[in-house]
C-alpha cells in the first residue's frame, strides 16, 4: 500500500535502529538507510516533546543538503520523560540500573518525535505513550541488564523484551511508539505529505 502511494519517491530513513528499520519494512516502504552523526544536544529550557521535536529536526537539518527531489527524509528521536527529567540512552551499566530503578513502580511517558522532510517542505509531529511499571527488585533489574544489555535504548529498556513481559502493568497509547516509532502516525503523515505536493 505505502509503496504504491509513494510511487516515484524513495524514503531515506536516518536511523540505525533495527526496530525502526523493521517497521519500515513491515510498512512495505521503498526505503534506504542514510546515517550522519549528530551531536544530540538541546537547550536546557526544553521539556518533554519539545526536546524530541528539536532533536528530530536537528537530525533532519544535518541531512537535508544530501536530499534529491525524489527523496523523503525521516528522522526521529525518543526519550523517556520521568519526573520532569529526560532519560535518553544510558552511559553504562550503573546508569541503566539507576534509570530502571527510578521507573520501578511508577508511570512514565515515552515520547517519540518524527520529522518528515523533502527539499520543499517539512512536517514534525510526536506521540506520547504512558507506561506503568510494576515494582522491580534489584535482582530482576540486574538480570535484565546482564541478559539483554539495553544500552542503545532510551530509558534503558525495550518493551518488546523480557522486561516488557514481567514489568509493565499498563500502557496507555501506542505500543509501537514505545518500541521506537509511532508507526500509525508515520504512515498517515507520509500519505498526507505526498498528497499535498
Cell representation of residue 16: 540505525
Q: What is the helix (H) or strand (E) element at residue 152, kind and residue range? A: none
C-alpha–C-alpha distance, residues 118 and 123, integer Å:
9
Is 77 an active-site residue? Answer: yes
- Give the chain's domains with CATH numbers: 2-195 (3.90.950.10)
Active-site hit among 53, 77, 123, 152? 77
pLDDT digit string (tens) for the chain, length 197 residues: 788 888 889 999 999 999 999 999 999 989 999 999 999 999 999 999 999 999 999 999 999 999 999 999 999 999 999 999 999 899 999 999 999 999 999 999 999 999 999 999 999 999 999 999 999 999 999 999 999 999 999 999 999 999 999 999 999 999 999 998 999 999 999 999 987 54
H or E stretch covering 46: none
CA-CA distance, 44 to 18, in Å (whole number)? 30
Amino acid at each position: 500500500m505505502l509503496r504504491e502511494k509513494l510511487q516515484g519517491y524513495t524514503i531515506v530513513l536516518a536511523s540505525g535502529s533495527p526496530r525502526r528499520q523493521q517497521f519500515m519494512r513491515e510498512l512495505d516502504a521503498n526505503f534506504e538507510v542514510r546515517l550522519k552523526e549528530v551531536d544530540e544536544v538541546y537547550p536546557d529550557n526544553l521539556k518533554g516533546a519539545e526536546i524530541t521535536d528539536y532533536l528530530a529536526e536537528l537530525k533532519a537539518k544535518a541531512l537535508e543538503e544530501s536530499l534529491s527531489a525524489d527523496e523523503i527524509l525521516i528522522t526521529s528521536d525518543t526519550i523517556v520523560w520521568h519526573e520532569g527529567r529526560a532519560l535518553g540512552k544510558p552511559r553504562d551499566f550503573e546508569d541503566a540500573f539507576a534509570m530502571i530503578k527510578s521507573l520501578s513502580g511508577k508511570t512514565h511517558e515515552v515520547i517519540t518525535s518524527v520529522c518528515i522532510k523533502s527539499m520543499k517542505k517539512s512536517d514534525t509531529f510526536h506521540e506520547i505513550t504512558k507506561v506503568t511499571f510494576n515494582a522491580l527488585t534489584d535482582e530482576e533489574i540486574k538480570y535484565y541488564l546482564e541478559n539483554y544489555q539495553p544500552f542503545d535504548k532510551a530509558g534503558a529498556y525495550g518493551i518488546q523484551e523480557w522486561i516488557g513481559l514481567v514489568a509493565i502493568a499498563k500502557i496507555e497509547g501506542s505500543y509501537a511508539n514505545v518500541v521506537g516509532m509511532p508507526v500509525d502516525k508515520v504512515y498517515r503523515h507520509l500519505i498526507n505529505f505526498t498528497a499535498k505536493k
